[in-house]
Amino acid sequence: TQSTWGFSTNRVTMSKINSEFLRKSIEEILADAKTKNRGFLETVDLQIGLKDYDPQKDKRFSGTVRLPHVPRPRMAVCVLGDAVHMEQAQKLGVDCMDTDALKKLNKNKKLIKKLAKKYDAFLASEALIKQIPRLLGPGLNKAGKFPGLITHQDNLADKIAELKSQVKFQLKKVLCLGVAVGNVGMTDDQLRQNITMTINFLISLLKKNWQNVRTLNIKSTMGAPKRIYG
């Protein structure tokens, strides 16, 4: 199942999670980050443990949801662009590559792996997106980073902001998932809204909804995990 929904943060299918407990856990994470001041903007992740799912037999789900507050403002994005998008990306100070630069990688698996590792996400012009399998092979796809599409009607800055606001779920071979839902620079309320929306969306993707959830934890990059369910 593949879906992209913009959920309302107020739609609560989260009755299984004690809202007071969630609020307290968020407060503790933010207070810990402030006290320890680790010198970088820590990401807050939602860690999910699933149950009663067989990745071998059951249909693997994937889906993307756009959150109200950008979880990873420093997320590294690269534009694989035609002349128009290359110019726009350069003006925005965003890394970009054209067809010639991609051809120079010469389908070298090591170089493509390095490229996939360097960036969190990619956007590609309409003219280029169809050529990516031919130019790069399956490398970006394998890394779960196949580029999103940009057209000349799109505003590139808005597209990048949208990408930075997205959470992507993709069940692979293991029953543990982790997604970035915020950062320690956010307010309690912004984090709560992002976490609520992410969980609501996850539940909508699962075959048996809450019955497929074993545990939910939230944690900052360097902080201790806080169990909020299970």
Q: What is the pLDDT of residue 13?
A: 52
Average model confidence (pLDDT) for the chain? 87
- pLDDT tens for 137-193 read 888 888 888 899 999 999 999 999 998 998 888 777 778 889 999 999 999 999 999
Range 85-99 burial, b when 16+ CB lie within 10 A, else e: bbebbeeeebebbbb
The pLDDT of residue 207? 86
Per-residue pLDDT reduced to its tens digit, 2-36: 344 444 444 445 568 888 999 999 999 999 998 88
The confidence score (pLDDT) of residue 54 equals 82
**pLDDT exceeds cutoff 70 at 217:** yes
Percent of the chain's residues with pLDDT above 90? 57
User: What local confidence, expressed as pLDDT, does residue 140 receive?
Assistant: 86
Would you list the DSSP string of 49-110? EE-S--TTTSPPPEEEEE-SS-S-TT--EEEE--HHHHHHHHHHT-EEE-HHHHHHTTT-HH
Whether the model clears a pTM of 0.75, i.e. scores above it, the answer is yes
The pLDDT, as a whole number, for residue 109 is 87
Tokens of 149: 């599409």
Q: What is the pLDDT of residue 2?
A: 39
The whole-number pLDDT of residue 15 equals 64
pLDDT tens across 107-116, in order? 888 999 999 9
Check residues 176 and 47 and name the one with the higher pLDDT: 47
d(CA 102, CA 130): 13
Q: What is the average pLDDT across 95-118? A: 91
